[in-house]
Amino acid sequence: MQFDRVIKGDIVLPEGVLERGYVAIRGETIAAIGQGVAPLADETTDHTGMLILPGLVDGHMHTGSAVGWPGIEGASMSAAAGGVTTCVDMPYDVPRATTDAAIFAEKVGWVNRTSHVDMALYGTITKHDGVDAIPGLAAAGACSFKLSTYEYDATRFPRIDNTTMVAAFREIAKTGLMVAIHNEDQEIVEGAIAAARATGRTDPIMHARTRPPLCETMADLAIFEMALETGAHVHIAHSSLARGLELAEMFRAQGARASGEVCIQYLCMTEDDLVRLQGFGKCNPPFRTAAEVERMWDVLRAGKIAYVSTDHAPWDRVRKEYHGDIFACGAGLTGMQSFAPLMATLLEKRGLPITVMASLCAERPARFHGLWPKKGAIRVGFDADLCVLERGEFTFDEATIQDREGARWSPYHGRAMSARVAATWLRGNCIWDGSVVRARPGTGQFVPRQGGGFFA
């Protein structure tokens, strides 16, 4: 049977790499996978010698953190250039969060009009009287929920008190959706920042010192105890500590639906990088020690990580500049365009197979967010979403970031990479050709939850 398109290259499957393989596409979906002589097709694209992975599913980013929903357009261009074909976007948008079905529907409209890649969406709740909105958000197609134990803004990014958190967990448990938590203890952080300011210490390292490991583990213990109590699937949104993942494993052994993800920066950045990068290295939780990075790789190898994400937050450069007070800088990093090449580079350096990337950066986030069996793998019947990696010696240049001018900065600028994204395919169409985003606004579409989550 003739196909619409055949794409040739080294196909990365869960069991290994199918060298000199092909993916045959009919319409927007994968129709056949094979090796050797490719079948007839209306068009054939030859990526021989390159790795063809499933399009990455970034389970954690904030496209609307800086300029609101109009930011979806630029951030999704960066995603396309980074091999990310599905974004799972956080709900803490400027100027208001996605806290009910009506706001959710409005955001879906922005995605369908402006995104260059497919996008699933989190929902959240207001600080007070928000629990009743949970069923409507689930019915509207939210893939997951996000709540916080730390408050950045009482309206956009509030702290949810324990009583409300338990009530929300009980209601979310009924939907079967995952609830991710920003896991930092408010009192510990606020007290430490106040003490630092009192002594005049506002230099970059104090961002890490005022958010010590204890502020994370205290929050982890609280949310996982609530998971046991309510039956909800409770997830650490970004563990900078191996202990966080070990706590999740401990609570799973006790019957809790507990999990945690690791953002890619916690696999390669240290406190020294915070001092070097100043505001451009500020994120929450902060970078940890080199020894902690090694422990994170240990838990990754042990299979204790749910998935790897970016926590992409494209603040304008001016918000990241350091002028003597690290606490005044915006918190968050750009990371989607560097995601695929950096992850491939880190795995190669550690002697781990590229299949780990297909699992932790595509299949597992798709499963956790209920986007399986549509997204996350090179399988017959799945969307033809592909990330093509060219192997070699490259240097990441922030000037190439495909976003608005103010967001063209990266903590990985100048970093040596052993791969680059040579092409990205979304539902059978090339949206990035290695130098230009070929998609147009609205090429990407909202992806509602497809089915049960990881613990279903």
How high is the pLDDT of residue 209? Answer: 98
Separation CA 77–CA 431 (nearest Å): 9
Q: What is the DSSP letter of 360?
A: I
Quote the tokens at residue 48. 């021989």
How high is the pLDDT of residue 88? Answer: 98
Task: Evaluate whether 48 touches 18 at the Cβ level (below 8 Å).
Answer: no
How high is the pLDDT of residue 353? Answer: 98
Nearest Cα to Cα of residue 251 among 289, 217, 301:
217
Separation CA 405–CA 399 (nearest Å): 9
Amino acid at the residue 236 = I
Estimate to the nearest angstrom the gap between the alpha carbon of 57 and the chain centroid.
Answer: 7
How high is the pLDDT of residue 455? Answer: 73
Domain 55-368 sits in which CATH superfamily?
Metal-dependent hydrolases (3.20.20.140)
pLDDT per residue as tens, the chain (456 positions): 789 999 999 999 999 999 999 999 999 999 999 999 999 999 999 999 999 999 999 999 999 878 899 999 999 999 999 999 999 999 999 999 999 999 999 999 999 999 999 999 999 999 999 999 999 999 999 999 999 999 999 999 999 999 999 999 999 999 999 999 999 999 999 999 999 999 999 999 999 999 999 999 999 999 999 999 999 999 999 999 999 999 999 999 999 999 999 999 999 999 999 999 999 999 999 999 999 999 999 999 999 999 999 999 999 999 999 999 999 999 999 999 999 999 999 999 999 999 999 999 999 999 999 999 999 999 999 999 999 999 999 999 999 999 999 999 999 999 999 999 999 999 999 999 999 999 999 999 999 999 877 876
- In the three-class reduction of DSSP (H, G, I as helix; E, B as strand; rest coil), residue 449 is classed as coil
CA angle 95–370–303, rounded 5-degree value: 105
How high is the pLDDT of residue 20? Answer: 97
How high is the pLDDT of residue 1? Answer: 72
Nearest Cα to Cα of residue 79 among 323, 342, 351, 432:
432
Strand partners, 145: 123, 179
Q: What is the DSSP letter of 145?
A: E
- H helix or E strand, kind and range, residue 46: strand 41-54
Separation CA 89–CA 102 (nearest Å): 17
Beta carbons within 8 Å of 365's beta carbon, 6+ residues apart: 57, 58, 59, 88, 261, 306, 307, 309, 371, 376
CA dihedral over 364, 135, 312, 191, signed as positive or negative: negative
Separation CA 298–CA 242 (nearest Å): 8
CA dihedral over 392, 397, 400, 402, signed as positive or negative: positive
Q: How many other CB atoms are found less than 10 A from the CB of residue 68?
A: 15
Strand partners, 24: 6, 32
Separation CA 234–CA 257 (nearest Å): 6
Using N-to-C axis directions, what is the helix angle for 186-198 and 213-230, rounded to 10°? 170
Q: In angstroms, how far is the first alpha carbon of the chain from the final one? A: 37
What pLDDT, in 10s, does the model give residues 433-446?
999 999 999 999 99
> What are the distances in angstroms from CA 370 to CA 177, 254, 381?
8, 24, 16
Tell me the residue length of the chain: 456
How high is the pLDDT of residue 451? Answer: 82
How high is the pLDDT of residue 453? Answer: 73
Cis-peptide, bond into residue 285, ω within 30° of zero: yes
Nearest Cα to Cα of residue 426 among 77, 110, 122, 109:
77
The domains of the chain are located at 55-368
Enter the pTM of the model. Answer: 0.97
How high is the pLDDT of residue 456? Answer: 62
Separation CA 448–CA 160 (nearest Å): 26
- H helix or E strand, kind and range, residue 175: helix 162-175
In the chain, how many H helices and how many E strands? 14, 16
Separation CA 428–CA 385 (nearest Å): 7
Q: What is the DSSP letter of 171?
A: H
- H helix or E strand, kind and range, residue 431: strand 429-432
